Structure 1
Amino acid sequence: MLKQLSALCLVLGLAACGGSDLKDPPVDMGNFRLGLNIAVADNAQKVPISRSATADEWEESIRTAVADRFGRYRGTKLYNIGISVDGYALAPPGIPVVAAPKSVLVITANIWDDAAQKKLNAEGRQIHVWEDGGASLLGTGLIRGRDRQMEVLSYNAVKKVEEWLLTHPEWFDIQGAAPTAVGATPVPEGAEAGPVPGTSIPVAAN
C-alpha cells in the first residue's frame, strides 16, 4: 500500500511541477526594467503544521524568483518591486493521506516608478499561491524537500505578480491591452486567493 501511495504521490508531484516558462521569450512589458528588488519576511506568519524557514531564507528565495523573472526585461525605465512574505505553510514529510497539509504562500506586492520615486499601486496587492495550484489532494512533504517547496512557491508567487502587472499596461507604456504568454490560460481573479485547509493565516494588506 505504501508503495502505491508513494507512486501516486510521485505522479501527482511530477504533474504539479509542470515546466518553467522562464526559458520562453518574456511577454511584452513595455519600457519595464527591474530596479530595486526588495523582499521582506520579518513578520511572516507560519501555519503550525509546517516546516520552518527563516526570514532570510524566504527573502533570498523571493529575490531570486524576482531576478529570474523580471531580470529578463530590458526596457528603458527602472521600476522597483517590493514583496513582503505575509504567511506560509511548508508541507511536512510523512505518510501521504487525503487532505494532507499542502504548501501555500501569502505575499503582498508593491511597485514603484524609480525615477519619480512614486508608488504606482494605491494598495498592496495580496496574492495567495499553492505549491501545486491546489489541484492535488496530497501534500508534497513526502516528495519534495523544504528548499524545493520554497523555490516552487516563490516561482508561483512571482509569476502571479507578473500577471498582475500586465493588467496595468498604462504603468509601462504597453500599447493596447495587456498581452498574455502564448498558450497561457487566463487566471480568474478569485483563483489567486484561498485558505489553507484546516488553518488560517491572518494577514493585513499593506
Structure 2
Amino acid sequence: MTAFRLIALTAATLALAACETRTGLDAPPAQLAQFKLGHVAVVSDKATKAPISRDATPEQWQLALSKAVRERFERIDGDTFYHLGVNVDGYALAPPGVPLLISPKSVLIVSVTLITDTEGGKVVNPKPQQLTVFETLSGDSVVGSGLTKTAEEQMANLSFNAALAIEDWLAKNPQFFDPNAAPKVEIPAAQVK
C-alpha cells in the first residue's frame, strides 16, 4: 500500500470516527430519572423540503418520529409525566443517482417543546428548541445514502438521531425537571390534547 493510500485511509477513518454519534438505547442519562413519557405530538404538515430531496409525506414523518421518540423515551421510567411536541421544520432526503462527487447527505430540522402533565399543561421551554440532525455515517452511506438506502430508511435514521438529540438536550437542562425552577408558561387548554 502506498504511503498516500495509507494516509488517505487513516484520514477517512478518523473523519468517520469524528462523525460517529452515540447509538443504541443505552441507559438513559441520570438527569432524566424523574422523566416519564406521556404524549408525543409530531406536527409535520408545514415542513419545508429542500430543493434536492426525495419526497416524504407528513404522515411518514409523524410515524417515523413518533416511533423513534417513543422507543428512546419509553425506556425511562420516572415518576413525573411530561409530553413532547415535535415540529418538523425542514428536511432533505438524499436522492439516488447523484454523482459520487456531490453525494448529498440527509438532514432533518425539528423544533421541540416540553410540556408538563399538570392540569392545563405548562410549557417548560417557552421558545421551542430547534435541533438539526444529519444521517449517521456508515460504510454504505459515506458516498451518500441516496444510493444505498430507501427514503423510509433515511427517515428512520434521521428520526433516531432526532430522538437522541432531544434526549441530549433534555439531559443538558436538568432545571426543566426541578419543581423550584423558574415559573413555566401556561398554555391555553384548547391547545392541550
Return the TM-score normalized by structure 2: 0.75
Equivalent of 1:143 in 140, 144, 148:
148
Q: Distance in 1 between matches of 2:57 and 2:98?
A: 25
Aligned length: 161
After TM superposition, give the deviation of residue 17 of structure 1 in Å: 8.0
Q: Distance in 2 between matches of 1:124 and 1:40?
A: 13
Equivalent of 1:131 in 135, 147, 153:
135
Q: Deviations over 1:117-136 (max 9, x none)?
A: 11000200011111136xx8
Matched-pair contact (CA < 8 Å) for 1:107–1:126: yes
Return the TM-score normalized by structure 1: 0.71
Aligned CA RMSD, in angstroms, stands at: 2.6
For 2:43, the equivalent position in structure 1 comes to 40
Matched-pair contact (CA < 8 Å) for 2:21–2:136: no
Any gaps of 5 or more consecutive residues in structure 1?
1-10, 175-206
Matched-pair contact (CA < 8 Å) for 2:37–2:83: yes
Identical aligned residues as a percent = 41
Q: Distance in 1 between matches of 2:89 and 2:114?
A: 17
After TM superposition, give the deviation of residue 18 of structure 1 in Å: 7.2
Q: Distance in 2 between matches of 1:78 and 1:140?
A: 37
Alignment map for 1:21-32 (pairs within 5 Å): 21-22=24-25, 24-28=26-30, 29-32=32-35
Equivalent of 1:158 in 156, 163, 166:
163
For 2:63, the equivalent position in structure 1 comes to 60
After TM superposition, give the deviation of residue 99 of structure 1 in Å: 2.9
The structure-2 alpha-carbon separation of the partners of 1:120 and 1:67, relative to structure 1 and needing over 3 Å to count, comes to same
The reply to whether residue 168 of structure 1 matches residue 155 of structure 2 is no
After TM superposition, give the deviation of residue 31 of structure 1 in Å: 1.0
Equivalent of 1:104 in 90, 102, 107:
107
Specify the SS of the correspondent of 1:141. helix
Matched-pair contact (CA < 8 Å) for 2:33–2:77: no
After TM superposition, give the deviation of residue 55 of structure 1 in Å: 0.2
Q: Distance in 2 between matches of 1:99 and 1:160?
A: 27
After TM superposition, give the deviation of residue 96 of structure 1 in Å: 4.1
After TM superposition, give the deviation of residue 56 of structure 1 in Å: 0.4
Q: Distance in 2 between matches of 1:173 and 1:73?
A: 17
Q: Distance in 2 between matches of 1:95 and 1:39?
A: 31
Matched residue type, 2:63? E
Question: Which sits farther off after the overlay, 91-100 or 147-156?
Answer: 91-100
Q: Deviations over 1:146-172 (max 9, x none)?
A: 111000000111111111101111222
Q: Distance in 2 between matches of 1:40 and 1:59?
A: 7
For 2:185, the equivalent position in structure 1 comes to none
Equivalent of 1:76 in 79, 87, 92:
79
